[in-house]
């Protein structure tokens, strides 16, 4: 029961602003084998730290978002 509740609530805890901008960068990246998201650009646009940006993308990736992307700093 707790696992179902956690799976429902966890996506709501992700930083939506970071994920929105990350998705824009993901779509703008050349669609090679692994589209690259620049953590520096993401941080600059959102005002979040590189670590916060990285953690938000990694969490979202664990939930099936940003498949096969690479991160660069």
pTM of the full structure: 0.77
Spatial contact of 50 and 40, defined as CB atoms under 8 Å apart:
yes
Tens of pLDDT, residue by residue over 20-62, are 999 999 999 887 778 999 999 999 999 999 999 999 999 999 8
Angle at 40 between CA 17 and CA 19, to 5 degrees: 20
CA distance linking residue 30 with residue 52, whole number of Å: 24
Domain ranges of the chain: 2-72
Q: Taken in order 41, 71, 23, 43, is the CA torsion positive or negative?
A: negative
């Amino acid at each position: 029961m707790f696992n179902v509740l956690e799976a429902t609530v966890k996506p709501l805890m992700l930083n939506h602003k970071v994920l929105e901008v990350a998705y824009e960068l993901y779509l703008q990246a050349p669609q090679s084998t692994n589209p690259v998201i620049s953590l520096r650009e993401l941080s600059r646009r959102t005002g979040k730290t590189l670590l916060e940006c990285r953690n938000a993308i990694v969490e979202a990736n664990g939930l099936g978002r940003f498949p096969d992307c690479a991160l660069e700093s």
